[in-house]
Amino acid sequence: MSERVYIFDTTLRDGEQSPGCSMNTEEKLLVARKLVDLGVDILEAGFPIASDGDFDAVRRVGAEFPDVRVAALGRTVPKDIERAARALEGVKNPRIHCFIATSEIHLKYKFNKTQDEILEQAVRGVELAKQYVDDVEWSAEDGSRTEIGYLCRISKACVDAGATTINIPDTVGFCTPDHYAEIIGAVVEAVGDRAVVSVHTHDDLGLATANAIAALKAGARQIECAMNGIGERAGNCSLEEVAAILNVRHDRVPFHTGIRLEKLYAASQALSSVITFGPQPNKAIVGRNAFAHEAGIHQDGYLKHRSTYEIMAPESVGVPTSRLVLGKHSGRHALHQRIVDLGYGDLAKDDTLRVYEAFTQMADTRKGVLDEDIVALLEELGFRKLELVAQ
Ligand code: MN
């Protein structure tokens, strides 16, 4: 049996705090239901000190989903931690997630404090959180740009103070996979098996998922991610990408999670329905074109055997079916198949060729060809739908 990796979903917190992604409590509950169905381990439902809405969301998500662990975020200052603790009152599986920035840049420009002062504050915060809940996660904000010796020292101190998860975020999306793995490896070595080491990555350089995956090999056992990759700036690590990678490439990334892969698409769609945008069309796994084939050679190969151009079945991640998109790159084989699907029967080779010539002329002038266009073309060339002919 491979090792278990915990999926910490932050769609409702990091995701929600990005432009165009605000959700009210009812909307958060709707998305939370899909995430629980999907099988995430920890749901970060809000930042209670930030707003009453966040406070309420943590409380309601906690009440409605007693079997999932619910996290509330706060800085390592007493008023944040107390507010998070109050939001989590009565929640069956509560986690307080507290953070403080640790990098030189943040210490100098944000706090004007020394490393020792920050360490002291982090430890006091964890100790306070521990008075309310057993499950305390501590995060080193801007961890990836923190001097490594200090990062290990403060992480150890937070574990001594009671933190059971140590999260090292690449807050600004600055790391490369080898660099991040190096940092995570050092922290894993420093804290040993006394805490789970967690990763939280951002996609500013398009490396969020690659960084998270690299960190698993260095010993991380929790991944913080969001559905559709939403989150601050370029977004967080995509939950659907992590889940698919661990499944499709289990040979190279031998870990497992509690995610039910076939529920991914429904969760993605539910999220898209409550925020202002869906995943971009070419988004991995959940984008509209993720299982669409237009190039002729690809369509021909795909129709002969799906495995020629698909590394996973769309149904395995809950996507209804692959789509053959007809356009100027399509070949005769795909067009012939579409003619059959549209109900015009198994055309003879000459007939198919005739339709194909007219089709390529039309396709040349457009971005894509709709089924209606093909029907119009067939009718113009004198073909009739089979059931109509029968009547
Ligand atoms: Mn973040």
Please tell me the distance between residue 193's alpha carbon and the centre of ligand 1 in angstroms.
Answer: 25
Q: Which of 274, 302, 334 is the last residue of a domain?
A: 274
Same domain (yes/no): 45, 109: yes
Number of domains in the chain: 2
Q: Any idea what DSSP says for residue 233?
A: T
Q: In angstroms, rounded to a whole number, what is the distance separating the alpha carbons of residues 130 and 70?
A: 15
Same domain (yes/no): 257, 358: no
Q: Which of 243, 274, 305 is the last residue of a domain?
A: 274
Q: Which domain holds residue 145?
A: 3-274
What's the average model confidence in pLDDT over 69-87? 98
Map residue 71 onto helix, strand or coil. strand
Mean residue pLDDT of the chain comes to 95
Same domain (yes/no): 23, 165: yes
Can you name the residues that pair with 165 across neighbouring β-strands? 137, 196
Q: Is residue 284 part of a domain?
A: no
Q: In angstroms, rounded to a whole number, what is the distance separating the alpha carbons of residues 139 and 185?
A: 16
Task: Calculate helix-pair angle for 264-274, 239-248, nearest 10 degrees.
Answer: 170
> According to the model, what pLDDT value does residue 390 have?
56
Would you say 37 and 4 are in contact if contact means Cβ atoms under 8 Å apart? no
Same domain (yes/no): 8, 121: yes
Would you say 6 and 200 are in contact if contact means Cβ atoms under 8 Å apart? no
> According to the model, what pLDDT value does residue 18 have?
95
Same domain (yes/no): 383, 341: yes
> According to the model, what pLDDT value does residue 366 have?
83
**Is a pLDDT exceeding 80 seen at residue 323?**
no
Q: For the domain that residue 248 is a member of, what is the CATH number?
A: 3.20.20.70
Please tell me the distance between residue 342's alpha carbon and the centre of ligand 1 in angstroms.
Answer: 47
Task: Calculate helix-pair angle for 264-274, 25-38, nearest 10 degrees.
Answer: 170
Q: Would you tell me how many other CB atoms lie within 10 Å of the CB of residue 341?
A: 11
What's the average model confidence in pLDDT over 200-217? 98
Q: Is residue 153 part of a domain?
A: yes
When pLDDT is cut at 50, 70 and 90, the band that residue 329 belongs to is: confident
Please tell me the distance between residue 336's alpha carbon and the centre of ligand 1 in angstroms.
Answer: 48
Q: Is residue 280 part of a domain?
A: no
Work out the percent of the chain whose per-residue pLDDT is above 90: 84
Same domain (yes/no): 32, 122: yes
Same domain (yes/no): 158, 220: yes
Please tell me the distance between residue 60's alpha carbon and the centre of ligand 1 in angstroms.
Answer: 23
Instruction: Encode burial over 117-149: b for 16+ CB neighbours within 10 A, e otherwise.
Output: ebbebbbebbbbbbebbebbbbbbbbbbbbeee
Integer CA distances (angstroms), 218 to 4, 102, 193, 245, 389, in order: 14, 21, 13, 17, 66
Same domain (yes/no): 370, 306: yes
Tokens 């149904």 identify what position?
Answer: 315
Please tell me the distance between residue 136's alpha carbon and the centre of ligand 1 in angstroms.
Answer: 18
Q: Is residue 350 part of a domain?
A: yes
> According to the model, what pLDDT value does residue 370 have?
82
Same domain (yes/no): 247, 355: no
Q: Is residue 131 part of a domain?
A: yes
pTM: predicted TM-score of the whole model, two decimal places = 0.88
Q: Is residue 166 part of a domain?
A: yes
What's the average model confidence in pLDDT over 19-37? 97
Please tell me the distance between residue 170's alpha carbon and the centre of ligand 1 in angstroms.
Answer: 8
Same domain (yes/no): 303, 266: no
Integer CA distances (angstroms), 151 to 21, 118, 137, in order: 32, 11, 15
Please tell me the distance between residue 162's alpha carbon and the centre of ligand 1 in angstroms.
Answer: 23
Q: In angstroms, rounded to a whole number, what is the distance separating the alpha carbons of residues 3 and 119?
A: 32
> According to the model, what pLDDT value does residue 267 have?
96
Q: Is residue 209 part of a domain?
A: yes
Same domain (yes/no): 266, 361: no
Relative to beta strand 69-75, strand 6-9 is: unpaired
Q: Which of 227, 245, 274 is the last residue of a domain?
A: 274
What's the average model confidence in pLDDT over 201-221? 98
Q: Is residue 286 part of a domain?
A: no
What's the average model confidence in pLDDT over 29-40? 97
In terms of pLDDT, which residue wins out, 114 or 295? 114
> According to the model, what pLDDT value does residue 97 have?
98
**Is a pLDDT exceeding 90 seen at residue 389?**
no
Same domain (yes/no): 248, 305: no
Please tell me the distance between residue 14's alpha carbon and the centre of ligand 1 in angstroms.
Answer: 6
Q: What pLDDT, in 10s, does the model give residues 240-294?
A: 999 999 999 999 999 999 999 999 999 999 999 999 999 999 999 999 999 988 8
Please tell me the distance between residue 13's alpha carbon and the centre of ligand 1 in angstroms.
Answer: 9
